[in-house]
Structure 1
């Protein structure tokens, strides 16, 4: 029994350590929500799952140390629910970020983003006018477009240099007009709109050289936020999948050790003797 308790304690300790990357992923998403993605509800499921794993692991560890079978049982039940929740979150993350990506542009290092390339629940939420007002305000306050400017020895970068840059989805969608508008480059966030086309892309009419406006109300900006969210969620989901696989392995080990503890407490013999006890013979010689 002591060996089984030690094994359960070790598994709980390792499970506690596994909660750290999950919690870290949630905190990382939270930091991006305050600066880049500006969507503040997506990180909370991960943070809650990470904290829950920590608390449950400590309960299971205490149960193993003090040979408290109730705490061990509670660990197994709650951890099973947490594993199910983590699986659900991973499926949800991939489902809502499944469609949509940037379009390559001829002679450009960056991608252009179009809202019609995206679909589903996340697009509807981001596109909602009342919700987008909060997101666009967050983007302005975070200075996402102020960081796009570059100087080389005090000399601003040229158009050719800018066109070869690999901009983030938010920078491409919110800080410059769509390429098909045909505007002439002045600087990273300033464009000469004379002679450019005004349709069929409605964002060409929305673009403004006013640094407080730029393309924050463009559909391309909404698409850029969706593209940024997709990248963030996919990175976190890869970590979550690895953690989930290890977590399931640890759970199986803990469950087997718990059953062994119960068997010993009930003085149940192993192997064939246990089968004999489960199905006793009617004849005793």
Structure 2
């Protein structure tokens, strides 16, 4: 009688194989139709994930259902590597995101962000010119500052409202610059400003420039990454538990394959 663990592994890998098809398809679509740097940046990882899931799920499916022990061994090896990598990434995510927080500005409803408050590893990533060019392209493609501009707020409404870290860091100059508010993304520079903040000189009312080259913008991106990575790390813990259970079932299926093959060989069958 065919083992329950083999059936479970077969069903799980069949579902994973079906999941890999739209993932791989979206990666191919980005490669052929992607027109922005942000879309082109995403195509590689998406295709890699799709191919990995498809190959590994096929190995597990054939190995479990057709009792091909070496394929099931490959599947278990890949699963083990995935569990180790996911565990390491989860620990790493918690370590590099334990520093950095927005600063409350007196009389303002939003927070402002400083690059120096975040881990050195994250700072090096955004200070890299090539990396930041891609991130900046994604920020511009997302039209986050255009959506802020569309609110059409008065000064009182603006300073009492809440802003996302990216809106606070990239779509307006730092409060310390003392610029005069015209609209959410248009500020008049003051000749009397005594601030030594380099972001004050980097600010430009041009919608394609704004504060995208500012340190505050990089800090806003890191604040957003920090929040996202912590959420991902929590999800990873749940995924890890699931993968460990699947890995354990796979080990049972592998043991069943070896027993069945040994029994078949003893009976004189291939």
TM-score (norm 1): 0.74
Q: Which residue is equivalent to 2:95?
A: 95
Task: Give the CA deviation at 1:18.
Answer: 8.3
TM-score (norm 2): 0.77
1:189 aligns with 2:217: no
Note the alpha carbon deviations across 1:194-250, whole angstroms, 9 max, x for none: 376332423223323333332122111111121222233333333232112101111
Cα distance in 2 for partners of 1:242, 1:145 equals 35
Cα distance in 1 for partners of 2:47, 2:148 equals 31
Counterparts in 2 of 1:58 and 1:244: CA distance versus 1, 3 Å = same
Task: Give the CA deviation at 1:67.
Answer: 2.0
Task: Give the CA deviation at 1:262.
Answer: 2.2
Cα distance in 2 for partners of 1:117, 1:248 equals 36
After superposing the two structures, state which structure 1 stretch, 63-72 or 215-224, moved more: 63-72
- 3-state SS in 2 of match to 1:157: coil
* Count of matched residue pairs: 255
Counterparts in 2 of 1:18 and 1:99: CA distance versus 1, 3 Å = farther
Note the alpha carbon deviations across 1:114-146, whole angstroms, 9 max, x for none: 111112222112113454345435534553322
1:213 aligns with 2:214: no
The structure 2 residue matched to 1:179, chosen from 154, 157, 175, is: 175
Question: Quick check: which has more Rg, 1 or 2?
Answer: 1
Report if aligned partners of 2:113, 2:169 keep a CA contact under 8 Å in 1: yes
Unaligned 5+ segments in structure 2 are 264-270
Aligned residue runs from structure 1 range 76-91, under 5 A: 76-91=76-91
RMSD, aligned CA? 3.5
1:111 aligns with 2:111: yes
Query: 1 or 2, which has the higher helix percentage?
Result: 2
Unaligned 5+ segments in structure 1 are 268-285
Task: Give the CA deviation at 1:105.
Answer: 2.0
Counterparts in 2 of 1:64 and 1:170: CA distance versus 1, 3 Å = same
Cα distance in 2 for partners of 1:195, 1:229 equals 35
Q: Which residue is equivalent to 1:9?
A: 10
Counterparts in 2 of 1:241 and 1:47: CA distance versus 1, 3 Å = farther
After superposing the two structures, state which structure 1 stretch, 141-150 or 171-180, moved more: 141-150
- 3-state SS in 1 of match to 2:144: coil
Task: Give the CA deviation at 1:60.
Answer: 1.1
Cα distance in 2 for partners of 1:215, 1:50 equals 36
